[in-house]
Chains A and B, each alone.
Chain A
Amino acid sequence: MRKASGMSDRTSQMILTVICAVVLLIVAYPLYYVVVASFSDPYQVYAGKTFLFPSGFTLDGYKAVFLNDGIVSGFLNSVKYTVVGTIFSVVMLYITAYPLAQKDLPGRKALSIFFLFTMYFAGGLVPTYLVVKQTGLVGSMWSLFLPGGVGVGNMIIVRNYFQSSIPHDLVEAAEIDGCSKLRTFFSVVIPLSMPILAVMVVFSMVAYWNDWFTALIYLGGKNIPLPLVMRNILIKSSATASQAATISGGYAELNKLTELLKFCSMIVAALPMLAIYPFVQKYFEKGFMAGAVKG
């Protein structure tokens, strides 16, 4: 009997392993494919010749990316915007979510509705631009953070976390021991909310790292972040078929580089995030579940 159950354990283990392996393959192969394609002749890729290894090996795409003057400044800009933006956003989240989590806050309901309202209604692109323009932020990096400084969705997650996962008794105990409100916040609440802090850091980080549209609207010249630099490299290399009539190099050749660059820029833009992710991942699972499920 005992042996049989051991067998079935092992069998189910095996089945699970197989299922996981299949899922892993399904998820990982497309990513791997992009890596391979970034080293391959794009016309061979599109003709279905590339499977596990690069076909028509080439480094032209990466050459075009790394020989671009803007790539270093774009990378530094992106790092700057991501770091400053993440710190700013997380601070804003905490100082809005914590008060809203306090049941004795006067006007709590009205304030909540005030925040919630912005999730459903926005000003639209042109009015927002006008506001940013009139506040003199166009061209400054603060135009990336200030207009959308508090992510309301994230704020609600954090607020729920404060309400559900930090026992009110604990806060009271701290106060009885002589803590001021601020001291409680810094010495009790923040250390206890590390998991959700990590989640919010990752959310903001990824959002700021990937954001190109805001920068496209408000920034220009030397201030543009990496995704915009990538986009410019891509646009530079691309031509429409109707332009082909007058391009003496030929459309097919020009287009080849464009297609190759699509893969290369994906890799270059995603690598830094991929490198950071493992370090915050352990907080990530825990915090994400904690904030969301117990809402």
Chain B
Amino acid sequence: MKQKIFFAALSAALLLGALSGCAGGLVNNVNDGTVNTNLEQTEFNIMGGISALSSGYENNEVLTALQERAGIHITWETMSDSLAEQVNIRVTGGQYPDAFMGVGFSNYDLARYGDDGTFLDLTPYLTPDIMPNLCAILEEHPEIRAAITQEDGKIYGLPSGEQMTTAGIGADMDDAFSIFSVPQYSMINKAWLDDLGLEVPTSLDELHDALKAFKDNDMSARYYGNAPGTTLPMTTGFDEWCWGQNIFYSGFGFTNWPNDVINDLHLKSDGTVEFVCASDAYRDCLTYFHDWYAEGLMDVEMFSQSDSQLIAKCQQGYVGVSVWWYIEELKGEYAEDYVFLPPLTGPKGTQYENTRGVTIRPGSPITSGQLNITNKCKSPINLLKFYDLWYNGETVMQLQYGPIGVFFTGQDESGMWLAITEEEAQAKYGKSAGEVRNAYETMGPKLILAEYYNEVFYMEDRAVERLTDLDQFWMPYVKDTSFYPVDCVFTGMEMETIDWHKADFEAAVKEQEGLWLRDGGPTDAEWQAYKDHLSQKCGMDDLLQVYQDAYDRYAAAK
């Protein structure tokens, strides 16, 4: 009996100890809208992400120079992998640093850590005294401020984003499109078409016939001399970002990009939001493409292959039609034989005959999860003054690519910085320009504005090439340029709703899409059951409401 009492007392004591230990971690809740004017701390610990190819932040001359200018010293604790787990462990254990950099917290995380006081509300610090550079940018770009402000008006992190748009190749700033607008460039083997006496298809029917001709004539064997039977008329991934089949759906009035917000969300030009995956066009589309799949025109491995397998097939010259970010990269030595295959119109004799609808994607969002100061930091002002230096074209250029004198070799007559060429990099450092850049690239609150590409430094050649293709070839096919804005701000409740349903919803849609492509489109009963499942089990109506509300607020604020 005595023993039992002893153990009970012991476990009670342990439990109390554990509880008080937890409470001890969260004492400095200072999110009350005032500035902490303490200036004593000049040594900071920062934990965060780093590119696996980086040579480290300790010896990074750009970062060192910035620290000297700000009069502080930072001890870095960086990792390129399993960052999220480590950060979770540290925050839960109360053993976190003065700030997190380059972690990429989601808005959901930000709200959570902001509410419990782990992250400081930076709103009172965004003044011209403390952060002159950033304030000037926010003044000029109110949309950036809107994107990083939480629903309750607080800001838990500094903004970051890369606005790589057609403005960098001369398009009008207000009318520019992100490099991500059309991630999937479809391409077709022109040499095979010529050999068979066919034109580049403009409709799905024509493509169907061309694919059939590729298959029947075994073009891989006939034209490239590969083993008989190796021809793959068309191969893609399934709902993949830059190598999915989705671009071909344009004949039915949409392309359901696997979206960052949620799969298949579509903003119509009248400002209403809908899920493509519950529309009749979507149903007709899957029914149509099942025939292609059944005829062996689409690769049976499309559901399972990795991008490596796709590249492998393409570089052997097996493939007639495929999809990628660039032609050259996917096709290797066969690249010259390929041309872009434009978005196609729908099948003849149906209501889609003249339909050609590409849904474009938004650019990368402005986020505030790349630099977050915690309540462990005694002198936030000192740290913020350091980060304010980042909000300058020349500085952010060096953080992104490498220092002036190493990656940037000089300025031309218009004052634009010139990047090191491939030959110079090889001669001077014995590595490629990309490797030089990778060693220096810093992850963090880098805000690369579209105008920097016209005023400070030139965009990389490959990006220019892709944007030119986008502007000249792809955008003319896009009639409706509305897309769901990634900068929409959700309330805490809304984020809960999305977080709750997102995984189920996406999984249900994707699985069913694959099944219908493979086994044949839905009967009326199946279609109804599917829609019921989405709204009853996967929260489709709630999600739609959330996205509509958030968009309406966004549109009203504009």
Contact = CB atoms under 8 A, between A and B. Distances in A.
Q: Is the interface of A mostly helix, strand, loop or mixed?
A: helix
A248 B329 contact: no
Nearest to B435: A249
Given A44-B312, A46-B308, A129-B89, A241 B52 contact: no
B53 interface: yes
B92 A126 contact: yes
Contact of B81 (A47, A49, A232): A232
A47 B313 contact: yes
Which bucket holds chain A's interface residue count? 20 to 34
Nearest to B309: A46
B93 A43 contact: no
Given A249-B432, A252-B332, A126 B325 contact: no
A46 B81 contact: no
Given A232-B52, A248-B433, A125 B316 contact: no
A216 interface: yes
Interface string A117-157: 00000000110011001000000000000000000000000
Nearest to A129: B89
Contacts of B318: 47
A42 B308 contact: yes
B318 to A, nearest CB: 7
Interface residues of B, number: 41
Interface string A86-129: 00000000000000000000000000000000000000011001
B53 A46 contact: no
Contacts of B179: 245
B50 to A, nearest CB: 11
A255 interface: yes
A242 B242 contact: yes
Contacts of A258: 308
Contacts of A242: 241-242
Contact of A246 (B242, B308, B435, B460): B460
A236 interface: yes
A235 interface: yes
A47 B53 CA distance: 29
B308 A47 contact: no
A216 B82 contact: yes
B88 interface: yes
Given A245-B179, A250-B329, A44 B435 contact: no
A283 interface: no
Count chain A CB atoms within 10 A of each CB in B312, B332, B462 and give the residue with the most.
B312
Q: Is the interface of B mostly helix, strand, loop or mixed?
A: helix
Nearest to A231: B81
Given A43-B316, A46-B309, A255-B307, A244 B463 contact: no
Interface string B172-210: 000000010000000000000000000000000000000
B243 interface: yes
Interface string B66-94: 00000000000000111001001100110
Contacts of B462: 245-246, 248
Contacts of B93: 126, 129-130, 133
Interface in B90-137: 92-93, 95
Contacts of A245: 164, 179, 325, 462-463, 466
Contacts of A270: none
19 contacts: A42-B312, A43-B316, A46-B308, A46-B312, A47-B315, A125-B85, A130-B93, A235-B81, A241-B242, A242-B241, A245-B164, A245-B179, A246-B462, A248-B437, A251-B329, A252-B329, A255-B308, A255-B311, A259-B308
